[in-house]
Chain A
Amino acid sequence: GENVEQHPSTLSVQEGDSAVIKCTYSDSASNYFPWYKQELGKRPQLIIDIRSNVGEKKDQRIAVTLNKTAKHFSLHITETQPEDSAVYFCAARLNQAGTALIFGKGTTLSVSS
């Protein structure tokens, strides 16, 4: 079955720096890769996603890249702000039968001002 590895587990940056979180997946048939942000005590929020037919997608300060050959995808946050501090999860669609997701273990991002 699908397996998702996520690195690093913790990441500390200064306000204004960029942050990059990387994930690898095992099933070459996977075609959907979302990223979720979870603030302390809150539900995971979908922040950006990418399909397998696209190499890169941007939304303001956030971008995601996908390398299907290497089976890895990355989240890039530019000009980080203290409110970006949270746990970020990458995920991959479990299989073609539904919308269930397999998640990475998460990255705790801390942005200090």
Chain B
Amino acid sequence: KAGVTQTPRYLIKTRGQQVTLSCSPISGHRSVSWYQQTPGQGLQFLFEYFSETQRNKGNFPGRFSGRQFSNSRSEMNVSTLELGDSALYLCASSITGTETYEQYFGPGTRLTVT
């Protein structure tokens, strides 16, 4: 079974621009969570989607948004980019069943804002 995939793997953007990142979960997984990883803050939760609905949201400004499609693929968007948005953005998928919580990560998208 193929793992979680993310595109693109690397991005360089300028302050003020916007960016869209994509995540394809493991086949059969219906939940997708997004995390921001930086050296100083570690792994911080952004949001979680299940069945095209946002189920949980972390403590990030409204410039960060996401969505999920009917095939469980998910996108996240960051508008008005700031230098501090430079980070590795990871998505993770889970099957979401009774007593099933395991999350599996994609390789991440490395975003650099200049």
Given A34-B103, A44-B90, A46-B103: A97 and B45 interface contact (C-beta under 8 Å): no
CA distance A106 to B92 in the complex (A): 18
Q: Is the interface of B mostly helix, strand, loop or mixed?
A: strand
Residue of A nearest to B4 (CB): A43
| Nearest 4 pairs of A and B residues by beta carbon | A103-B43, A100-B48, A99-B94, A98-B55
A95 interface neighbour in B47, B56, B102, B108, Cβ under 8 Å: B56
Q: Which residues of A contact B (CB under 8 A)?
A: 32, 34, 36, 42-46, 49, 51, 89, 91, 93-95, 97-106
CB neighbours (8 Å) of A51 from chain B are 99
B50 interface neighbour in A94, A98, A103, Cβ under 8 Å: A98
Given A34-B102, A46-B103, A94-B45: A100 and B56 interface contact (C-beta under 8 Å): yes
A36, A51, A98, A105: most-surrounded residue (chain B CB, <10 A) = A98
Is the pair A32, B42 in contact by a Cβ cutoff of 8 Å? no
CA distance A102 to B33 in the complex (A): 11
Is B106 in contact with chain A by the CB < 8 A criterion? yes
Residue of B nearest to A53 (CB): B99
